[in-house]
Structure 1
Amino acid sequence: MIEKEKVIVLIGPTAVGKTNASIELANRFNGEIISGDSMQIYKRMDIGTAKITREEMEGIPHHLLDIKDPRESFSVADFQELVRKNISEIHSRGKIPLIVGGTGLYIQSVLYDYQFTDTPGDEDYRKELEAELEKNGPDWLHGKLLRIDPVSASNIHPNNTRRVIRALEIYHCTGKRMAEFQASQSKELQYNAAIIGLTMDREKLYERINLRVDMMMTQGLLEEVKELYDEGVRNVQSVQAIGYKELYEYLDGLIGLERAKENLKQNSRRYAKRQLTWFRNKMDVAWFDMTDENRHSEIIEDISEFIAGKLQLKSNK
């Protein structure tokens, strides 16, 4: 029997503290980090995606950051292919891959045997849906999916129009909902994986999200978004991300800046809730509660012990 490659996976909602924890774990286990975030792949979208800075990396190699122009599209299948290649390359260097992020479907596609090529498509119907999107907007299209496939609709943000269209297309072609296709995929892990989830008391998490949004605005999020806006980057996947969409509405003159900030906070809180629901329902996760900041070192120690035991790895500490 071929031995499966070892992978550490660190997941959790936005603002829970994955970045700091990932650096500590990578240092302990001689790791290289692969971003598991569907928006951090885009260049010049740093503040709004909470991308790790060069200083925060502490010299640890990071992969899948800044690999696409904001006008380019990027699919789950693209992500799966690139991450699996990264995993093999990292192992070839005698290091341990550490996937870190919050985009559930993307990470799941790597860990399990997702066969994207088997999923049927209909280009004419897709174009029809794109025309409907242009005419009626993302909420209308998401409502259409909600009526047909409420499970998928609850897991796909209305602004992720590409995935909304994909879910509608699958149903149109087969009469099956997207969840039924996902259920038929292999449940066996492709890797020897230790899947760690970070969680936190909801009130504290929401407080951290609100503070993070205020900090992003101070750091220049509006200027970052305005650069893309002024270049005419719109109606593409990248600027449908939370943090960009809300400020585009402000720049379009549809809402005031304070309303845009409040919308950004609210959408981020809702996203965090959806992330937690996804991870709890779809993956076999060992959860660690990060609420008590005074216990941070102790919790990292507990996580390290879990990883060492699960993957038979030695910790550097």
Structure 2
Amino acid sequence: MSNQLPVINLMGPTASGKTALACELYEQGNYELISVDSALVFKDMDIGTAKPSKAEQARYPHHLIDIITPLEVYSAAEFVEDACRLIDDIHSRGKTPILVGGTMLYFKALLEGLASNLPSADYDIRAAIELKGETEGWQAVYDELKAVDSLAGEKFKVSDKQRIIRALEVYKITGRPITQLQAEQPQKQPYRYNFHNYALLPDRVELHKRIEMRLEKMWEIGFLNEVENLMKKYDPDENLPAFRSVGYRQAIDFLKNSDKHQENYQEMCDKALFATRQLAKRQYTWLRSLQELHQFKTFFTIKQAQEDLRNLYG
């Protein structure tokens, strides 16, 4: 539709270089940046989230960074509401918004709409489900889900832990299968935006090297001190999303439950590296599922992305 205003979505796994790419694009035209990252919303969580520095934010201002404390929860629905408001504001100023980040649930919610009749998260229920998975095995949790929601059991695999947790959580809150609730959703009305979707998907071997280098730099510049300060300031509830973020979860466990010897420190670093690689794997999976439903252009190298986007928007 000719009256639809453009919105650039720049997606990619952690450490893929998407933020640097967005900042380069920002310099070339009349743009504003909106962060699409569920960890960057939290204040006082800077190093472990790879948040742009104060100097970088001054040069490349990002909306939706540092908007809540780690004791608060920020939902996908809240993101969509905030993002649409910001997109409209940016368009009203005659600029084009660039949405950049790796939280694919947020992008999915923006592109497809949300299941509005689903309940908010209940962290006590989630913790109980996770405890069962850890003590009885995830097959037992998966079997419990299949008993109450056979359709979800067909859709999910036992390895889909987060999806299984959410489906069981919804059932325990509502007494109804999540698949039934999702089927009752009204058809989403199309947005008035023209989404330009781009995915930065570097080679996994290269991405793993970048992840390892980034984590090493984080430890060097004081990530563990940042987590210690967080614990002193907020007395974290480990069921809250902020403190379950990759890296933070492993650091909190090290600080609370180990004797802090070098062997334990290295184990923490290894666990954080593994968890970050797993996050990247999930992000790849999310991106592929989005690409099946929406028009995308995929870049496999940063150089390719720079050249193509410069030609399109420079």
TM-score (normalised: structure 2): 0.82
Moved more, 56-65 or 91-100: 56-65
Equivalent residue for 2:280, pick from 256, 266, 272: 272
Instruction: Map Cα deviations across residues 53-78 of structure 1 (whole Å, 9 max, x no partner).
Output: 23334623310000001111111111
| Correspondence for 2:22 | 22
8 A contact 1:23–1:58 mirrored in 2:
no
8 A contact 1:250–1:260 mirrored in 2:
yes
| Correspondence for 2:297 | 286
Distance 1:122 1:230 in 2: 28
User: Offset at 1:189?
Assistant: 5.6
Q: Note the residue ranges of structure 2 that are not aligned, 5 or more in a row.
A: 146-151
| Aligned-residue CA RMSD (Å) | 3.2
2:314 maps to 1:303: no
| Correspondence for 1:241 | 245
Distance 2:199 2:63 in 1: 20
Distance 2:58 2:120 in 1: 46
The structure-2 alpha-carbon separation of the partners of 1:199 and 1:131, relative to structure 1 and needing over 3 Å to count, comes to closer
Distance 1:282 1:178 in 2: 22
Distance 1:56 1:129 in 2: 39
Number of residue pairs matched by the alignment: 294
Distance 2:177 2:49 in 1: 36
The structure-2 alpha-carbon separation of the partners of 1:199 and 1:67, relative to structure 1 and needing over 3 Å to count, comes to same
Moved more, 230-239 or 71-80: 230-239
Q: Letter of the aligned partner of 1:240 in structure 2?
A: R
Distance 2:159 2:180 in 1: 11
Q: Letter of the aligned partner of 1:202 in structure 2?
A: R
The structure-2 alpha-carbon separation of the partners of 1:182 and 1:90, relative to structure 1 and needing over 3 Å to count, comes to farther
User: Offset at 1:260?
Assistant: 0.6
Identity of aligned residues (%): 32
Q: Letter of the aligned partner of 2:306 in structure 1?
A: I
Q: Note the residue ranges of structure 1 that are not aligned, 5 or more in a row.
A: 309-314
User: Offset at 1:21?
Assistant: 0.2
User: Offset at 1:115?
Assistant: 4.4
- Matched residue of 2:85: which SS? helix
- Matched residue of 1:114: which SS? coil
Q: Letter of the aligned partner of 2:305 in structure 1?
A: I
1:162-181 equivalences in 2 (<5 Å): 166-172=166-172, 173-177=175-179, 181=183
- Matched residue of 2:56: which SS? coil
The structure-2 alpha-carbon separation of the partners of 1:299 and 1:75, relative to structure 1 and needing over 3 Å to count, comes to closer
- Matched residue of 1:194: which SS? strand
Q: Letter of the aligned partner of 1:3 in structure 2?
A: N
The structure-2 alpha-carbon separation of the partners of 1:249 and 1:38, relative to structure 1 and needing over 3 Å to count, comes to same
| Correspondence for 1:42 | 42
Distance 1:184 1:233 in 2: 38
- Matched residue of 1:88: which SS? helix
| Correspondence for 1:109 | 109
The structure-2 alpha-carbon separation of the partners of 1:43 and 1:176, relative to structure 1 and needing over 3 Å to count, comes to closer
| Correspondence for 1:195 | 197
Instruction: Map Cα deviations across residues 116-147 of structure 1 (whole Å, 9 max, x no partner).
Output: 2x33x499xx587257258x277469936644
User: Offset at 1:239?
Assistant: 0.6
- Matched residue of 2:257: which SS? coil
Distance 1:32 1:157 in 2: 36
Q: Letter of the aligned partner of 2:65 in structure 1?
A: L
Distance 2:181 2:279 in 1: 19
TM-score (normalised: structure 1): 0.81
The structure-2 alpha-carbon separation of the partners of 1:157 and 1:213, relative to structure 1 and needing over 3 Å to count, comes to farther
User: Offset at 1:27?
Assistant: 1.9
Distance 2:299 2:184 in 1: 27
Instruction: Map Cα deviations across residues 146-204 of structure 1 (whole Å, 9 max, x no partner).
Output: 4434656789765xxxx865432334533243995599854956520111100111111
8 A contact 2:167–2:178 mirrored in 1:
no
8 A contact 1:129–1:165 mirrored in 2:
no
Equivalent residue for 1:230, pick from 229, 232, 250: 232
Distance 2:288 2:5 in 1: 24
The structure-2 alpha-carbon separation of the partners of 1:184 and 1:272, relative to structure 1 and needing over 3 Å to count, comes to farther
- Matched residue of 1:14: which SS? coil
